[in-house]
């Protein structure tokens, strides 16, 4: 009886989730226990006469966080136990229930799933909501000890004020130009390289592709110094080429396109060659149309990455004439230096204007992102 109940529970979709949650709660409780041990050891060896602040500063990270780990781990453990109990009851009564009762339980599960999804969505969207309402408040209201969830009076003038305090329109134009050419370069070079790695046949093909994959593990923080020196020697500091050229190739997009191209059967290429198509013709008329979801996906991702790029534009640009919008939002803080009250509401207004294009793009094109990701992972 127990074995059959356990088998039914393991076949349920929630069992694996509860197991992972159980492992996570156990890890948190272990960290909490380690924190308590560290706290006791450090307190026993603590010199006498220290103030509470000095004692707190002398404690280790685990000792300071022991209460948080224990509380969160205990809450997760309690939720997991309740989940296992409900799952066991549901599986044991499943055979005894009528068809009508099963339908009701199934509907209740769907309602709970929607409720959980809505709650998770609200949690993830709350920062965006807070940024938007903060951009419509006054500075005094934004700095109140008890924050308001809705503006007392809408301050629409915050948005035109941003355009007056800093050349924000120029920042948007620079971002659009650099993002477009970076996206174009990543697509063109990615398609050509992916064709060679997927449909080509030359010595060292796999070795070169491994080098491309190796580039995925090297962050820009490691390579930006030699790149910056090279860009500086070429005189590209404070210029569009300095912003664009170092970002024209993406190893990740080459990998995605290679996987998509490999999923296309070679018979289509053979048919294209019979019709007189060359390599470029095969790419344009055969591979690209058949892998359109993946191309749309990398175009969207490239646009979002280029629009949100901050580190490299911060390094290579020092003049407002070439600043991008991500750097420009930070630049807004410096325009309020020396003022009695920092205008964080206008900074939020600048951030809202900066994210509007990518939010709209993602909402409109999100289905293509999922389709392209699935296509690229097929082979």
**Domain final residue, candidates 96, 115, 136:** 96
The rounded distance, in Å, linking the Cα atoms of 180 and 295 is 15
Q: Are residues 280 and 164 in the same domain?
A: yes
Q: Are residues 249 and 348 in the same domain?
A: yes
Residue 230: inside a domain: yes
Q: Are residues 360 and 237 in the same domain?
A: yes
Residue 17: inside a domain: yes
Q: Which domain holds residue 37?
A: 2-96
Q: Are residues 315 and 181 in the same domain?
A: yes
Residue 110: inside a domain: no
Q: Are residues 198 and 343 in the same domain?
A: yes
User: Taking the mean position of all CA atoms in its chain, how far away is CA 320?
Assistant: 28
Q: Which two tokens stand for residue 140?
A: 């005094």
pLDDT at 192: 92
pLDDT at 199: 87
Residue 132: inside a domain: no
Tell me the three state secondary structure of residue 337. coil
CA-CA distances (angstroms) from residue 90 to 20, 117, 129?
A: 20, 22, 38
Q: Which two tokens stand for residue 120?
A: 């998770």
- Overall domain count for the chain: 2
HEC secondary structure over 178-216: HHHHHHHHHHHHHHHHHHHHHHCCCCCHHHHHHHHHHHC
pTM score, two decimals? 0.68
**Residues in CB range of 364: below 8 A, 6 or more apart:** none
**Domain final residue, candidates 41, 72, 96:** 96
**Please, what are the averages of pLDDT over each run of 10 residues along the chain (379 residues)?**
59 73 88 87 78 76 83 87 77 63 74 87 88 85 81 83 81 91 92 90 86 83 86 90 90 88 87 87 88 86 88 87 85 62 77 83 73 55
The rounded distance, in Å, linking the Cα atoms of 72 and 52 is 25
**Domain final residue, candidates 79, 96, 113:** 96
Contact between 6 and 89 under an 8 Å Cβ cutoff? The reply is: no
* Residue position matching structure tokens 């450090």: 42
Residue 121: inside a domain: no
Residue 113: inside a domain: no
pLDDT at 374: 58
pLDDT at 181: 94
pLDDT at 167: 83
Torsion angle (degrees, nearest 10) of CA 163, 173, 252, 203: -160
CATH code for position 341: 1.10.3720.10
For residue 80, count other CB atoms closer than 10 A to its CB: 20
Tell me the three state secondary structure of residue 83. helix
């Amino acid at each position: 009886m127990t074995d059959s109940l356990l088998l039914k529970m393991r076949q349920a979709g929630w069992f694996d989730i509860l197991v992972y949650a159980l492992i996570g709660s156990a890890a948190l409780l272990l960290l909490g226990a380690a924190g308590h041990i560290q706290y006791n050891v450090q307190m026993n060896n603590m010199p006498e006469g220290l103030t509470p602040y000095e004692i707190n500063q002398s404690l280790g990270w685990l000792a300071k966080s022991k209460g948080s780990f224990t509380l969160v781990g205990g809450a997760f453990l309690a939720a997991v136990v309740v989940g296992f109990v409900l799952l066991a009851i549901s599986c044991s009564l499943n055979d005894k229930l009528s068809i009508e009762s099963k339908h009701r339980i199934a509907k209740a599960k769907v309602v709970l799933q929607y409720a959980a999804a809505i709650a998770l969505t609200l949690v993830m969207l709350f920062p965006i909501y807070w940024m938007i309402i903060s951009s419509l408040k006054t500075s005094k209201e934004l700095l109140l000890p008890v924050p308001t969830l809705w503006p007392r009076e809408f301050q629409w003038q915050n948005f035109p004020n941003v355009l007056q305090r800093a050349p924000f329109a120029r920042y948007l134009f620079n971002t659009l130009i650099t993002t477009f050419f970076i996206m174009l370069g990543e697509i063109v070079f990615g398609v050509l390289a992916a064709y060679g790695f997927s449909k080509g046949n030359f010595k060292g093909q796999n070795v070169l592709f491994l080098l491309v994959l190796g580039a995925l593990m090297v962050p820009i923080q490691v390579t930006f110094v030699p790149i910056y020196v090279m860009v500086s020697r070429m005189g590209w500091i404070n210029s569009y080429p300095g912003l664009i050229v170092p970002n024209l190739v993406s190893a990740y997009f080459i990998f995605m396109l290679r996987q998509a191209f490999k999923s296309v059967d070679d018979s289509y290429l053979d048919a294209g060659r019979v019709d007189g198509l060359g390599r470029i013709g095969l790419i344009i008329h055969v591979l690209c149309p058949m892998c359109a979801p993946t191309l749309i996906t990398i175009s969207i991702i490239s646009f979002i990455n280029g629009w949100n790029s901050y580190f490299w534009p911060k390094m290579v640009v020092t003049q407002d004439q070439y600043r991008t919008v991500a750097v420009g939002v930070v630049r807004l803080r410096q325009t309020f230096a020396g003022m009695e009250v920092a205008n964080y509401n206008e900074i939020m207004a600048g951030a809202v204007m900066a994210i509007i294009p990518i939010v709209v793009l993602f909402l409109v094109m999100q289905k293509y992102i999922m389709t392209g990701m699935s296509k690229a992972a097929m082979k």
